[in-house]
Amino acid sequence: MNNSKVVVITGASSGIGFETAKLLNQKNYIIYGISRTKIHDKCVKSIQADVTNYEQLKQAYQEIFDIEGHIDCLINNAGMGISGSIEHTTLEDAKYMMDVNFMGVFHSTKAMLPFLRQSNRAKIINISSVAGRLAIPFQGFYSSSKAAINAFSESLKIELSPFNIQVCSVMPGDIKTGFTKNRKKNELEGDLYEKRVDKSIQVMENDEHNGMDAQYAAKVIYKLVKKRRLPLYKTIGIKYKIFIFLQKVLPARLVNYLVGSIYGFKKG
């Protein structure tokens, strides 16, 4: 059995997942990347699987365990975005987003737990978002899926405490990745929302283009992987830590108003 720590990362083909895989590989961790497409990089042992398919994940994790003899950390990173008004989001798009962003975390965790229980001080790191605490207009389903991950992580931490499996929900702020160009947009908004949605998305994308590098997020996640005791939440980015602090101390109505003033554009 290999004594190096084995880390499994979903959504490891790009962005935060890929940069985290590269960094952990440099630090002598054994990295398995789960992605729908083949990952062509020697830093990652690539396994193709879809997080919306529980049986594929179950088979993939069994394969990893059979090869390595242990799995020590799961990083649930796979995710996608949809922007647009809630009213004009199709039922199919809303369901698919929740299937990937939230149910994917559930599928991955459920499939992995039998193996993590056999490790010493195993860890589960779920990639959420500051948008899970500060719900953003015209990204309603993205914010909802990330808020669900936070609640899932809180429950999971309590349930797994007897098995010495730690859980952390990581909340990045705006980060420069391919996520921006890959975000799906509602095809039809109509006159009621179109101008407001366009302005809001422009602000979001500008923030993302000028955001933190994915390598910065990878360094934060690496510190969590090697940390003896995980915090329940870890926010990435100084200004986002301030936002989360204000969200805790200010009245909810005021926080909602402030977010609306940035992204809501009450007038088209």
Q: What is the pLDDT of residue 211?
A: 80
Which residues are catalytically annotated?
Answer: 13, 128, 142, 146
Here the tokens at position 1 are 């059995």
Main-chain dihedrals φ then ψ at residue 30, nearest 5 degrees: -90, 120
Pairing between β-strand 122-127 and β-strand 233-236 as defined by DSSP bridges:
unpaired
Here the tokens at position 222 are 């690496």
Q: What is the pLDDT of residue 268?
A: 62
Q: What is the pLDDT of residue 71?
A: 97
Q: What is the pTM of this model?
A: 0.93
The C-alpha atoms of residue 221 and residue 3 are separated, in whole angstroms, by 21
The C-alpha atoms of residue 241 and residue 33 are separated, in whole angstroms, by 29
**pLDDT tens over the chain, length 268 residues:** 567 999 999 999 999 999 999 999 999 999 999 999 999 899 999 999 999 999 999 999 999 999 999 999 999 999 998 889 999 999 999 999 999 999 999 999 999 999 999 998 899 999 999 999 999 999 999 999 999 999 999 999 999 999 999 999 999 988 876 665 667 788 777 788 988 998 998 888 887 778 889 999 999 999 999 999 999 999 998 888 999 999 999 999 999 999 998 888 877 6
Contacts of residue 64, Cβ cutoff 8 Å, sequence gap at least 6: 6, 8, 32, 47, 71, 115
CATH number 3.40.50.720 given to 6-263: yes
Q: What is the pLDDT of residue 38?
A: 93
Three-state DSSP class for residue 268: coil
Q: Would residue 265 be called left, alpha or beta, if left means φ above 0 and alpha means ψ between -120 and 50 degrees?
A: left
